[in-house]
Amino acid sequence: MTVCPFCQNNGLIYKAVIKVTGDIIYICDKCDLVWKTPNISLENCYTFEEIMSGLGRKNLWSELSDITPLQKEIL
């Protein structure tokens, strides 16, 4: 599992699909930071509220589907 580097490694990152668009996002289950790619860094994160308000939707996890834990890649 991949941990969120921004909430003292207490949150887990999940891959999910935004129901209304079909877009894949990566979201922390504790702080609700979102990434549009599995490249998790400070430079490319958004808040869940930013993403969903841009779609005219509420920032509720019920707006997501296919929520699965993001696995760390083994190199």
pTM for this entry: 0.91
Confidence grade of residue 71 (pLDDT, cut at 50, 70, 90): confident
Q: How far apart are CA 21 and CA 33, in angstroms?
A: 19
What mean pLDDT is reported for the chain?
A: 92
Q: Are 12 and 5 in contact (CB under 8 A)?
A: no
Contacting residues for 7 by C-beta, under 8 A, at least 6 apart: 28, 30, 31, 33
User: Is pLDDT above 80 for 9?
Assistant: no
User: Is pLDDT above 50 for 8?
Assistant: yes
Q: What is the dihedral of CA 2, 4, 10, 14, to 10 degrees?
A: -60
pLDDT at 7: 86
